[in-house]
């Protein structure tokens, strides 16, 4: 009997398994809509131009790799806060984190420290890593309705009804923009209602902003989050730079907490960071800092981000026009759409047409091109009731 016989076997990561299957597929017309990374017309996930330029500067000018601190690159977080929140946010404590995942986990650990065993409300469906992150930090998960797959629409009434069970001190997880996996978002009026609900019921909003700039633009994608932060005294924001700077494997993110107790929160964030990862990896954050610091790099980053967004939204419009059951995709935003396909249909599309998507029917829209949309729609159409 070994020490580790208390462990249960873990399921393999389905999405990563899909990468291997796709690679082994020799059919020329195969289409990869699985893993959630931006792709250009050639199926590449490029290093952004401004990122390359900043990396060249780092290689040339960086004089030390000595430790920073648990907060990471302070200037990075200041400059990124301006992108996320606009000028001069106060009552904010912020630190650099290893990606959006690290930010979510750090925020979850902070909540656990203050309110052990607190409940986090999570809409269904959501990014599959959300529940494990909060659960592994010791928080309780409750789900509420969010998206109705059959009608491809937000089930706001269902959400409000389910949140009727929420109690003061509960946490409400919200995607700031570009919902993963559905692409569906709240209307302005619905965001206002969510703000009122949080205020009236004493819920803490925890906003996951992982795709700023990839929906309707940098400002528009932050608007709902900013509105909520104006309306409420307290909020937690987990930010990822991994999509909008194309830095995925470099693991760049930040966590901000809005409260009247900024210094207390900040001290606890640093203490938690020290025991979780001591300090975050530097390279990607240093790149983001340089991109945001130098006007020319910043302009080029924004331009390339605009082009990425235009590509995604162009594909959305084309998909929406291609089939009546896909019409809602045109009004949704971000990299993903959730199709009303069961696991058998997803499997059959892979086998018969070389169309690869996540098992729940999520497609990465950036994996399409205007040229492959007809073949994709022809393959999918028979399964759309």
Q: Is 210 in the site for ligand PMP (CB under 6 A)?
A: yes
Q: Say whether 162 is catalytic.
A: no
Measured between alpha carbons, how far is 178 from 227 in angstroms, rounded to an integer?
17
99 or 354: whose CB is closer to ligand PMP?
Answer: 99
In the window 62-91, what residues touch ligand PMP (CB under 6 A)?
A: none
109 or 208: whose CB is closer to ligand PMP?
Answer: 208
Of the candidate residues 96, 119, 180, 268, the single one contacting ligand PMP (CB under 6 A):
180
212 or 322: whose CB is closer to ligand PMP?
Answer: 212
Of the candidate residues 127, 147, 191, 256, the single one contacting ligand PMP (CB under 6 A):
127
Among the residue ranges 46-54, 95-103, 318-326, 375-383, the one whose residues contact ligand PMP (CB under 6 A): 95-103
Which residue's Cβ has the minimum distance to ligand PMP?
99
- Minimum separation from the CB atom of position 200 to ligand PMP (A): 26
- Minimum separation from the CB atom of position 47 to ligand PMP (A): 16
Q: Is residue 267 classed as helix, strand or coil in its secondary structure?
A: helix
Q: Is 253 in the site for ligand PMP (CB under 6 A)?
A: yes
Q: Say whether 210 is catalytic.
A: yes
Q: Is 97 in the site for ligand PMP (CB under 6 A)?
A: no
Measured between alpha carbons, how far is 9 from 206 in angstroms, rounded to an integer?
31
Of the candidate residues 242, 250, 282, 300, the single one contacting ligand PMP (CB under 6 A):
242
171 or 210: whose CB is closer to ligand PMP?
Answer: 210
Closest CA to 361 of 342, 333, 334: 342
**Site size for ligand PMP (CB under 6 A):** 13
Q: Which residues contact 187 (CB under 8 A, 6 or more apart)?
A: none
How many helices (DSSP H) and strands (DSSP E) are in the chain? 13, 13
Q: Say whether 127 is catalytic.
A: yes
Measured between alpha carbons, how far is 238 from 96 in angstroms, rounded to an integer?
10
Supply angle C-alpha 367, 310, 371, rounded to 5: 45
Measured between alpha carbons, how far is 128 from 125 in angstroms, rounded to an integer?
8
- Minimum separation from the CB atom of position 295 to ligand PMP (A): 26
Measured between alpha carbons, how far is 152 from 150 in angstroms, rounded to an integer?
6
Strand blocks (E) in 61-203: 92-98, 119-124, 140-145, 147-148, 153-154, 171-175
DSSP structure class, residue 46: P
Active-site residue numbers?
127, 208, 210, 243
What is the binding site for ligand PMP (CB under 6 A)? 36, 99-101, 127, 175, 180, 208, 210, 240, 242, 248, 253
């Amino acid at each position: 009997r070994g020490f580790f016989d208390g462990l249960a076997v873990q399921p393999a990561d389905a999405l990563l398994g899909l990468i291997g299957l796709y690679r082994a597929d020799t059919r020329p017309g195969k289409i990869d809509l699985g893993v959630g990374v931006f792709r250009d017309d050639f199926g590449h996930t490029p290093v952004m131009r401004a990122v390359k330029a900043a990396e060249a500067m780092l290689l040339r000018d960086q004089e030390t790799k000595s430790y920073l601190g648990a907060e990471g690159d302070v200037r990075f977080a200041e400059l990124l806060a301006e992108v996320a929140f606009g000028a001069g946010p106060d009552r904010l404590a912020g630190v650099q984190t290893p990606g959006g995942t690290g930010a979510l986990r750090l925020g979850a650990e902070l909540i656990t420290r203050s309110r052990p065993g607190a409940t986090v409300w999570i809409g269904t469906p959501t990014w599959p890593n959300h529940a494990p992150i909060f659960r592994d930090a010791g928080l309780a998960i409750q789900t509420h309705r969010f998206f109705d797959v059959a009608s491809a629409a937000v089930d706001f009434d269902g959400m409000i009804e389910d949140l009727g069970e929420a109690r003061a001190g509960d946490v409400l997880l919200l995607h700031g923009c570009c919902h993963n996996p559905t692409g569906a978002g709240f209307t302005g009026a619905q965001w206002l209602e969510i703000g009122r609900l949080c205020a009236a019921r004493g819920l803490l909003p925890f906003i996951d902003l992982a795709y700023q700039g990839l929906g309707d633009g940098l400002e528009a994608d932050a608007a709902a989050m900013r509105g909520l932060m104006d309306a409420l005294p307290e909020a937690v924001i987990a930010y990822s730079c991994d999509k909008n700077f194309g830095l995925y494997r470099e693991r760049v993110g930040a966590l901000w907490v809005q409260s009247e107790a900024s210094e207390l929160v900040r001290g606890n964030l640093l203490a938690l960071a020290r025991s979780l990862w001591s300090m975050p990896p530097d390279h990607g954050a240093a790149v983001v800092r340089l991109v945001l610091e130098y006007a020319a790099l910043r302009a080029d980053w924004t331009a390339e981000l605009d082009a990425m967004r235009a590509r995604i939204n162009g594909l959305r419009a084309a998909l929406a026009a291609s089939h009546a059951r896909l019409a809602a995709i045109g009004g949704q935003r971000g990299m993903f759409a959730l199709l009303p396909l069961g696991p058998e249909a997803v499997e059959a599309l892979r086998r018969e047409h070389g169309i690869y998507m996540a098992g729940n029917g999520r497609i990465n829209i950036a994996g399409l091109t205007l040229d492959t949309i007809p073949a994709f729609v022809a393959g999918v159409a028979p399964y759309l009731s």
